[in-house]
């Protein structure tokens, strides 16, 4: 039996770890799952909602790291994770995504000679100003197994000198969560509570520092959203960090007086899935939403110059439009003027069975 520590640090990690832990519990003769929550991003109500919605068991260990600078946070995770690793003596540690906890725990494993697997390996934006890009590159260098979501990720790793025997194309584990929970999300009443009609509204999410910490950039995005909002209402679940910067940058009055931009509190997984799955258009700077909208066939505009998920552009419904308001508005209107959903295809192995392929690879390694 393999004892596996599954690390979560921020909410996007929950959707990636939940299917893996569930699959391990179904194969209890082969796996003993153990969940460590670093607490990198932690809000009691939101974390509990995500754990409940995703049917993820309460973490076995909570490190309680909290917010800090990148250096301080990474160091704190390393310091607190090391004794857990020494005590539990796992056969494998699984890290997911690209947050600071991902790199920190991978480094600790590498130093102590514990095998580590990286889920969602090989994604590259080619933008090293993004902290997530640094986390991705370094984690992939030290991981023993690299589980990739798409063929372009395999090519990235091979180009960086990663041996082919360490790479496994398994598909996108976030889509496991998406497909499993779509029926449950249909029971959410969030659209009714917000008086929204399916396909008659847009959804926006913003949280990346490059967008929400710079007043000029944030102002340009707001300009575009206000213009698009004359065409259809825009619902904006506001990330706590974004809400803080709205006030700090002096946009609170402007946003409050907007007749087309509707700010709401962050939502749990099922409510948010119900909200954006019914949208006519999604605008985001998130990574996972680019993938989920591709599977659901929803037009998505990524408010960044680059994306580490180019397959969502080449095959899916996503476009990277940056932060120029003219380009954002032009692409939004083009998407809204289409009479049907854009032609798209779903990448190979984005089929809801990625977690099983990950476990098969662990057993075989």
The residues that are catalytic are 207
Q: How far is CA 185 from the centre of its chain?
A: 18
Q: How far is CA 279 from the centre of its chain?
A: 19
Say which DSSP state 109 is in.
H
Measured distance CA(273)–CA(276) in Å, rounded: 6
Question: Tokens representing 15?
Answer: 């959707």
Query: Cα 348–349–355 angle (5° rounding)?
Result: 160
Measured distance CA(169)–CA(140) in Å, rounded: 14
Q: Are 34 and 74 in contact (CB under 8 A)?
A: no
Exposure string over 133-148, b if 16+ CB within 10 A, otherwise e: bebbbebbeebbbbbb
Measured distance CA(216)–CA(249) in Å, rounded: 10
For the residues of 65-134, what is the DSSP string, one character each?
--S--HHHHHHHHHHHHHHHHHHH--SEEEEETTSHHHHHHHHHHHHHT--EEEETTT---S-TTSHHHH
Q: Are 212 and 286 in contact (CB under 8 A)?
A: no
Measured distance CA(254)–CA(273) in Å, rounded: 28
Measured distance CA(257)–CA(117) in Å, rounded: 48
Q: Are 96 and 146 in contact (CB under 8 A)?
A: no
């Amino acid at each position: 039996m393999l004892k596996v520590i599954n690390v979560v640090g921020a909410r996007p990690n929950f959707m990636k770890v939940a299917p893996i832990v569930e699959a391990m519990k179904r194969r209890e003769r082969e796996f003993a799952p153990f969940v460590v929550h670093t607490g990198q991003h932690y809000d009691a109500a939101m974390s509990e909602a995500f754990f409940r919605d995703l049917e993820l068991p309460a973490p076995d260990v909570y490190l309680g790291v909290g917010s800090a600078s990148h250096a301080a946070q990474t160091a704190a995770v390393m310091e607190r994770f090391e004794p857990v690793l020494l005590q539990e003596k796992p056969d494998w540690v699984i890290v997911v995504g690209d947050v600071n906890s991902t790199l920190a725990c991978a480094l600790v494993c590498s130093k102590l000679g514990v095998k580590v697997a990286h889920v969602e390996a090989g994604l590259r934006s080619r933008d090293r100003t993004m902290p997530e890009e640094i986390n991705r590159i370094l984690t992939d260098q030290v991981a023993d197994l690299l589980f990739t979501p798409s063929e372009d990720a395999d090519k990235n790793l091979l180009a960086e000198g990663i041996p082919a025997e360490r790479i496994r194309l398994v598909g996108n584990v976030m889509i496991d969560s998406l497909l499993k929970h779509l029926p449950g999300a249909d029971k959410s009443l969030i659209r009714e509570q917000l008086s929204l009609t399916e396909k008659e509204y847009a959804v926006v999410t913003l949280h990346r520092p490059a967008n929400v910490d710079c007043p000029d950039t944030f102002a340009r995005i707001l300009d575009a959203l206000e213009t698009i909002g004359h065409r259809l209402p825009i619902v904006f679940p506001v990330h706590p960090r974004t809400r803080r910067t709205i006030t700090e940058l002096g946009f609170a009055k402007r946003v409050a007086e907007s007749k087309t931009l509707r700010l709401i509190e962050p939502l749990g997984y099922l409510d948010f899935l119900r909200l954006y799955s019914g949208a006519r258009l999604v605008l985001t700077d998130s990574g996972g939403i680019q993938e989920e909208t591709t599977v659901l066939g929803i037009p998505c505009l990524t408010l960044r110059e680059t994306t580490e998920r180019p397959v969502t552009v080449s095959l899916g419904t996503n476009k990277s439009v940056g932060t120029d308001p003219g380009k954002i508005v032009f692409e939004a209107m083009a998407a809204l003027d289409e009479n049907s959903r854009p032609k798209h295809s779903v990448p190979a192995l984005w089929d809801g069975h990625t977690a099983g392929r990950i476990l098969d690879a662990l057993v075989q390694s």
